[in-house]
Amino acid sequence: MAILTCLVVSVVTIIKCFQMVSLMEQRVYILANGKVLEAYASDRRDNIPVEARDHIKMFHKYFFTLDPDEKAIQQGITRALYLADGSAKKMYDNLRETGFYSGLISGNINQTITIDSIRVHTESTPFRFECFATQQIIRPTTITVRSLVTEGALRNVSRSDNNPHGFLIERLNTLDNRDIKTENRR
């Protein structure tokens, strides 16, 4: 009887130790500005919608926020193309061939984007998305506000310094890109 009791106590102790170690492995302590903060590990599945929306937001920011500086344009486009497949490269090549980027530079035109909303459908892979945004095109004499709606799909890829979310935008398509209003600058 004593041996059986010792065996049960030992098994319960071992199980509890494994549970405690597993629980401790999910905690991470971060030192920020002299303060210790506790963070919890979670499955990627829990964060997919958030990470997907941020991936889409960053791509659109890099691709559509443009200054009249060739080096800045190239830097933003390069960052954006790490986040997307050949459909974004094709879109860039078409814009470059039509003289869009050289027109921005020669006309001293700034273009900024504000993301209004992003819908990601995570029911099946690849994840489909729609991005609703507003572009502001600032010329020396006018400011034009445009609506921009894009769609595409997200495929899982490995994470890297150039692609921290581990997604790749595929089949990028512009559904709407029309002027909403134009006003003269003072």
Q: 74, 86, 49, 59: which is closest to 150 by C-alpha?
A: 59
Considering only residues 185 and 144, tell me which one the structure prediction assigns the higher pLDDT: 144
Query: What are the pLDDT digits (tens) for 85-107?
Result: 999 999 999 999 999 999 999 99
Helix (H, G, I), strand (E, B) or coil at 76: helix
Backbone angles phi, psi at 56, to 5 degrees: -65, -45
> What is the rounded distance in angstroms from the CA atom of residue 56 to the CA atom of residue 58?
6
Rounded to an integer, what is the distance from CA 138 to the centroid of its chain?
Answer: 25
40-49 mean pLDDT? 70
Name the percent of the chain in helix, strand, coil, to the closest 5.
40, 40, 20
Beta bridge partners of 110: 138
CATH topology of domain 44-184: Nuclear Transport Factor 2; Chain: A, (3.10.450)
Whether pLDDT at 24 is above 70: no
Question: Where exactly are the structural domains of the chain?
Answer: 2-38, 44-184
Residue 35: per-residue pLDDT: 75
Q: Which helix (H) or strand (E) holds 56?
A: helix 44-64
Quote the mean pLDDT of the chain.
89
User: How sure is the predictor about 124, in pLDDT bands with cuts at 50, 70 and 90?
Assistant: confident
> What is the rounded distance in angstroms from the CA atom of residue 136 to the CA atom of residue 125?
33
